[in-house]
Amino acid sequence: MSIYLVFHVSLLKPYVPDEFKERKKVPPLLEFLDSLNSDPGFEVEEILDKWLYYRKPHDLIKWKGYPFYKAT
């Protein structure tokens, strides 16, 4: 898949301001990602297995504080 950095001027549209000024703005992506990183969530205890599935690497992970049968 190719992404082109050049586009035709006919694809441009004029800016239309937001009609709903009282609507809460969606936080930027970086703030969202930082909020995810602040909560550690699951912690890896051990990588049990590695394999390729359709040429993509996959891991079997044992999570800290969880039993072996909950490994994903």
Per-residue pLDDT of the chain in tens (72 residues, 90 and over written 9): 677 788 899 989 998 887 777 777 766 777 777 766 665 677 888 999 999 999 999 999 998 888 888 888
**What is the residue-wise DSSP string for 26-37?**
PPPHHHHHHHHH
| pLDDT for res 54 | 94
Residue that has been written with the tokens 């001027």 in this structure: 9
Its sign, for the CA torsion 32, 3, 58, 46, is negative
Tokens of 19: 């009609």
For the chain, the straight-line distance linking the first and the last C-alpha, in angstroms and rounded, comes to 31
3-state secondary structure of 71: coil
